[in-house]
Amino acid sequence: MLACRSIVLCCLSGLVALISCPVRANWQPEPEPLVWSRLRKTHLPGEGWTFVDAMSSPKLQAAEYLRSPRAAITDSSGVVVDIEAGLLLRRSDQSEWTAKVIPMRVVCDAGRMDRLDSSGKWSAYPSRPDTPVKVAWMCSLP
Protein backbone atom coordinates (compact mmCIF):
# COMPACT_ATOMS: atom_id res chain seq x y z
CA MET A 1 0.00 0.00 0.00
CA LEU A 2 2.80 2.39 0.89
CA ALA A 3 4.59 1.57 -2.38
CA CYS A 4 1.45 2.44 -4.39
CA ARG A 5 1.13 5.74 -2.58
CA SER A 6 4.78 6.57 -3.31
CA ILE A 7 4.28 5.79 -7.00
CA VAL A 8 1.15 7.95 -7.18
CA LEU A 9 2.89 10.86 -5.43
CA CYS A 10 5.89 10.55 -7.73
CA CYS A 11 3.64 10.58 -10.82
CA LEU A 12 1.69 13.55 -9.51
CA SER A 13 4.86 15.52 -8.82
CA GLY A 14 6.05 14.76 -12.36
CA LEU A 15 2.73 15.94 -13.75
CA VAL A 16 2.94 19.17 -11.76
CA ALA A 17 6.46 19.73 -13.10
CA LEU A 18 5.25 19.24 -16.67
CA ILE A 19 2.29 21.57 -16.19
CA SER A 20 4.44 24.30 -14.68
CA CYS A 21 7.05 24.20 -17.47
CA PRO A 22 6.90 27.13 -19.87
CA VAL A 23 5.15 26.54 -23.16
CA ARG A 24 7.64 25.89 -25.94
CA ALA A 25 7.32 27.66 -29.26
CA ASN A 26 6.76 24.51 -31.30
CA TRP A 27 3.66 25.97 -32.95
CA GLN A 28 4.00 27.91 -36.15
CA PRO A 29 1.42 29.19 -38.60
CA GLU A 30 0.36 27.23 -41.62
CA PRO A 31 1.34 28.69 -45.00
CA GLU A 32 -0.90 31.55 -46.05
CA PRO A 33 -3.73 30.31 -48.31
CA LEU A 34 -3.88 32.02 -51.70
CA VAL A 35 -7.35 33.48 -51.05
CA TRP A 36 -6.07 35.23 -47.89
CA SER A 37 -2.93 36.39 -49.66
CA ARG A 38 -5.02 38.15 -52.29
CA LEU A 39 -7.28 39.76 -49.69
CA ARG A 40 -4.28 40.87 -47.60
CA LYS A 41 -2.62 42.52 -50.59
CA THR A 42 -5.85 44.36 -51.36
CA HIS A 43 -6.89 45.42 -47.85
CA LEU A 44 -3.93 45.57 -45.43
CA PRO A 45 -1.56 48.51 -45.92
CA GLY A 46 2.14 48.05 -46.52
CA GLU A 47 4.39 45.03 -46.69
CA GLY A 48 5.92 42.55 -44.28
CA TRP A 49 2.76 40.85 -43.00
CA THR A 50 3.07 37.30 -41.62
CA PHE A 51 -0.03 35.12 -41.76
CA VAL A 52 -0.95 33.81 -38.29
CA ASP A 53 -4.38 32.18 -38.51
CA ALA A 54 -7.76 32.25 -40.21
CA MET A 55 -11.24 31.07 -39.44
CA SER A 56 -14.43 30.69 -41.38
CA SER A 57 -17.95 30.06 -40.13
CA PRO A 58 -21.40 30.83 -41.51
CA LYS A 59 -21.39 34.08 -39.49
CA LEU A 60 -17.79 35.29 -39.88
CA GLN A 61 -14.65 35.03 -41.98
CA ALA A 62 -11.45 36.39 -40.46
CA ALA A 63 -7.67 36.24 -40.80
CA GLU A 64 -4.96 37.43 -38.42
CA TYR A 65 -1.55 38.78 -39.39
CA LEU A 66 1.41 40.38 -37.65
CA ARG A 67 4.42 42.41 -38.65
CA SER A 68 7.37 44.30 -37.20
CA PRO A 69 7.98 42.26 -34.01
CA ARG A 70 10.30 44.17 -31.66
CA ALA A 71 11.46 42.75 -28.32
CA ALA A 72 11.96 44.92 -25.25
CA ILE A 73 12.42 44.43 -21.52
CA THR A 74 10.18 46.49 -19.26
CA ASP A 75 10.33 46.98 -15.50
CA SER A 76 6.65 46.18 -15.02
CA SER A 77 6.02 43.36 -17.52
CA GLY A 78 9.42 41.79 -18.21
CA VAL A 79 10.01 40.67 -21.79
CA VAL A 80 7.48 42.04 -24.26
CA VAL A 81 7.27 41.87 -28.04
CA ASP A 82 5.59 44.84 -29.68
CA ILE A 83 3.80 44.00 -32.92
CA GLU A 84 1.41 45.44 -35.42
CA ALA A 85 -1.56 43.08 -35.66
CA GLY A 86 -3.52 43.02 -38.89
CA LEU A 87 -7.08 41.77 -38.99
CA LEU A 88 -9.23 41.06 -42.02
CA LEU A 89 -12.85 40.27 -41.34
CA ARG A 90 -16.22 40.04 -42.95
CA ARG A 91 -19.46 39.21 -41.17
CA SER A 92 -22.20 37.30 -42.97
CA ASP A 93 -24.39 40.43 -43.21
CA GLN A 94 -21.59 42.45 -44.87
CA SER A 95 -20.46 42.46 -48.48
CA GLU A 96 -17.23 44.42 -47.89
CA TRP A 97 -14.12 43.34 -46.01
CA THR A 98 -12.97 45.29 -42.96
CA ALA A 99 -9.24 45.68 -42.33
CA LYS A 100 -7.76 46.85 -39.03
CA VAL A 101 -4.19 47.43 -37.90
CA ILE A 102 -3.95 47.26 -34.12
CA PRO A 103 -0.88 48.06 -31.97
CA MET A 104 -0.38 45.07 -29.69
CA ARG A 105 2.22 43.59 -27.42
CA VAL A 106 2.95 40.06 -26.34
CA VAL A 107 3.77 39.84 -22.63
CA CYS A 108 6.03 36.80 -22.78
CA ASP A 109 6.47 36.13 -19.05
CA ALA A 110 2.71 36.34 -18.41
CA GLY A 111 1.73 34.40 -21.55
CA ARG A 112 -0.78 36.98 -22.71
CA MET A 113 -1.41 39.58 -25.38
CA ASP A 114 -2.36 43.22 -24.79
CA ARG A 115 -3.82 45.78 -27.16
CA LEU A 116 -3.34 49.52 -27.06
CA ASP A 117 -6.69 51.23 -26.56
CA SER A 118 -7.73 54.62 -27.91
CA SER A 119 -6.62 56.37 -24.70
CA GLY A 120 -3.09 54.96 -24.99
CA LYS A 121 -3.42 52.33 -22.25
CA TRP A 122 -2.62 48.65 -22.58
CA SER A 123 -5.44 46.22 -21.81
CA ALA A 124 -5.50 42.43 -21.93
CA TYR A 125 -6.66 40.99 -25.23
CA PRO A 126 -9.24 38.17 -24.89
CA SER A 127 -7.50 34.82 -24.66
CA ARG A 128 -8.42 31.71 -26.64
CA PRO A 129 -7.36 28.10 -26.06
CA ASP A 130 -4.47 28.44 -28.55
CA THR A 131 -3.17 31.74 -27.15
CA PRO A 132 -0.32 30.21 -25.05
CA VAL A 133 1.31 28.47 -28.03
CA LYS A 134 0.90 31.54 -30.24
CA VAL A 135 2.37 33.77 -27.52
CA ALA A 136 5.37 31.42 -27.19
CA TRP A 137 5.86 31.50 -30.97
CA MET A 138 5.63 35.31 -31.14
CA CYS A 139 8.09 35.64 -28.26
CA SER A 140 10.58 33.55 -30.26
CA LEU A 141 10.40 35.82 -33.36
CA PRO A 142 12.67 38.82 -32.67
**Per residue in 68-94, pLDDT tens?**
999 999 998 899 999 999 999 999 999
Confirm whether 85 is domain-assigned. Answer: yes
Confirm whether 49 is domain-assigned. Answer: yes
Confirm whether 69 is domain-assigned. Answer: yes
Q: Could you say which residues of the chain have pLDDT below 50?
A: 1-24
pLDDT at residue 142, rounded to an integer: 85
Confirm whether 135 is domain-assigned. Answer: yes
Q: How many domains does the chain have?
A: 1
Query: Whole-number mean pLDDT of the chain?
Result: 86
List of residues 6+ apart from 121 with CB closer than 8 A: none
Confirm whether 62 is domain-assigned. Answer: yes
pLDDT at residue 96, rounded to an integer: 97
CA–CA separation, 142 and 138 (whole Å)? 8
Confirm whether 20 is domain-assigned. Answer: no
Q: For the chain, first and last CA: distance in Å?
A: 52
Confirm whether 13 is domain-assigned. Answer: no
Confirm whether 124 is domain-assigned. Answer: yes
Question: Environment class of residue 6 by beta-carbon count within 10 Å: exposed (0-12), middle (13-18) or buried (19+)?
Answer: exposed
- Domain hosting 134: range is 25-139
